[in-house]
Amino acid sequence: MNRPSVCAVVCAAGRGSRAGFEKNKLLVPFGGSTALEMSVSAFDFPAIDEILVAVSEEDEGEVKALCARFPKAKTVIGGDTRSRSVYNALLQTSCDVVLIHDGARPFVSRSVVEGCIESVRKYRSGVCALPSVDTVALTDGGYIRSVPARTRVYSLQTPQGFFAADLRAAYEKAFAAGGSYTDDSSVYAEFVSPPRLCAGSRENKKLTFAEDFSPAVPVPSPARAGIGVDTHAFGKPQNYILLAGVKIPSDSGLVAHSDGDVLAHAVMDALLSAAGLKDIGHYFPDTDEKWAGADSMEMLAQVRRLIAERGFAPLSLSVAVQAQKPRLSGYIDAVSQALAAALGIPKDAVGVSAGTNEGLGDIGEGKGICVRAVALLRSLR
Ligand code: MG
């Protein structure tokens, strides 16, 4: 079949009472954002067509605000059980495939999600799982009744993927039968067929207790740094230059195919480099008329989307401008502010310095401006 459309359902309608927080555990500050934001962002890549976040009425406003930066995400009101929440979401999607995911598993990697989708394509279902490291026992009244061979025991994680129509039908039968279920694979197993296992991961742990939220829990992927450098020459008949979109009076403009925002270009290359992507010439070729006179801050917004697709968000930025002229000191604050807004980071996470080249070389002779930028990114997974 053609590529099936895929909807991720992120379950966040519970309160997570075992963690003992005042509010929904998924919405407390965690790892620089919240567990829910990290879980949603794990599905924000091209293979996923829609993200439905099942929430309680109480949390809906907060979650809607959080979803605003994910164009594919929207909220759906959950039910009084996890099963009802999933079913409500199933009624809201017209996608072929659904991946049901616990909002409390923020560390799920893209490769785990892709493996789950692949399993659904091949076997009609995919349940992320890990072989058990513990011996498990079936008990009754405080006594061990049987111990299954450990090689046959798996811990089930999420996402769990199915064709939407199959899972919808399974839940309708489950509700009619009146059973209660803690995950989707057990409903599918009882009313459709044995679900297929696919690879989970150790990092994909479920945040359950308060200590799981402590800073001691390492965010698995480290930060990434990138450097960008750009130089443009004066010579455009124009009485200003643009630095991060800020208009600065000048006796000459900078020569460029785009609007000549040499600072924005250096920042873009730093961000792309940190994310392991190609340079701006690749994404915005100056042979393409489309970019003639282009607004570089608009291009910067596109770069931010590109790095988000790779699973990164800006953490901090440091910029050094070398220019013999014009005088920049009165504009540094506005430039920092513009960069902070464009990158969605606090102003104190942006540093901008400006200096001359002491009269040395082309920059010192006032022939052009050179900008160096270093960006630090955090992983969204
Ligand atoms: Mg340039």
Given this model, what pLDDT does residue 132 score?
Answer: 93
Residue 261 Cα to ligand 1 middle (Å)? 7
CB 84 within 8 A of CB 171: no
Query: According to the model, what pLDDT value does residue 342 have?
Result: 93
Residue 254: what pLDDT?
96
Q: How far does the centroid of ligand 1 lie from the alpha carbon of residue 229, in Å? A: 9
> What's the CA gap between 361 and 286, in Å, rounded?
27
pLDDT digits (tens, 9 = 90+) for 318-353: 999 999 999 999 999 999 999 999 998 889 999 999
Task: Encode pLDDT of 122-160 as tens digits.
Answer: 999 999 999 999 999 999 999 999 999 999 999 999 999
Residue 295 alpha carbon to ligand 1 centre in Å: 12
C-alpha 209 to ligand 1 mean position (Å): 49
Burial 23-32 (b: 16+ CB within 10 A, else e): ebbbbbebbe
Handedness of CA 255, 260, 263, 267 (dihedral sign): negative
The C-alpha atoms of residue 149 and residue 20 are separated, in whole angstroms, by 35
Ligand 1 centre to CA of 108 (Å) is: 37
Q: How confident is the model at residue 311 (pLDDT cuts 50, 70, 90)?
A: confident
- In angstroms, what CA-CA distances link 228 with 264, 274, 352? 10, 9, 14
Ligand 1 centroid – CA 331 distance (Å): 20
Closest CA to 12 of 57, 48, 45, 71: 57
Residues lying with their CB under 5 A of ligand 1, a single-atom ion: 230, 265
Quickly tell me which residue has 């927080």 as its tokens.
21
- CB-CB contact of 375 with 272 (8 Å): no
In the reported structure, the alpha carbon of residue 289 is separated from the centroid of ligand 1 by a whole-number distance in angstroms of 15
Tell me the CA–centroid distance for residue 280 and ligand 1, in Å: 8
Q: Is the pLDDT of residue 3 over 80?
A: yes
CA of 267 to the centre of ligand 1 (A): 10
Distance 319 CA to ligand 1 centre (A): 15
Q: What would the pLDDT profile of 10-35 be if each residue is shown by its tens digit?
A: 999 987 667 777 788 899 888 778 89
Res 218 pLDDT > 70: no
Cα(304) to centroid of ligand 1, in Å? 17
CA of 224 to the centre of ligand 1 (A): 23
Q: Which of 217, 220, 118, 208 is nearest to 159 (CA)?
A: 118
- CA–centroid distance, 232 to ligand 1, in Å, is 6
Distance of CA 243 from the midpoint of ligand 1 (Å) = 11
Tell me how long the chain is.
Answer: 381
Query: What's the token pair of residue 231?
Result: 């130089």
Q: Find the 235 Cα to ligand 1 centroid distance in Å.
A: 14
Give the Å distance between the CA of 231 and the centre of ligand 1: 6
The Å distance, Cα 274 to ligand 1 centre, comes to: 18
CA of 230 to the centre of ligand 1 (A): 5
Report d(CA 247, CA 328) in Å as an integer.
Answer: 11
> The whole model's pTM is what?
0.61
Query: Is residue 220 very low, low, confident or very high in pLDDT (cuts 50, 70, 90)?
Result: low
| Cα–ligand 1 centroid distance for 44 (angstroms) | 30
The secondary structure of residue 259, as a DSSP letter, is S
- Angstrom distance (rounded) from CA 343 to CA 303: 10
In this prediction, residue 316 carries a pLDDT of 95
- Helix (H/G/I), strand (E/B), else coil: 12: coil
pLDDT band at 219 (very low <50, low <70, confident <90, very high): low
Using DSSP's 3-state secondary structure scheme, residue 284 falls into coil
pLDDT band at 214 (very low <50, low <70, confident <90, very high): confident
d(CA 355, CA 57): 54
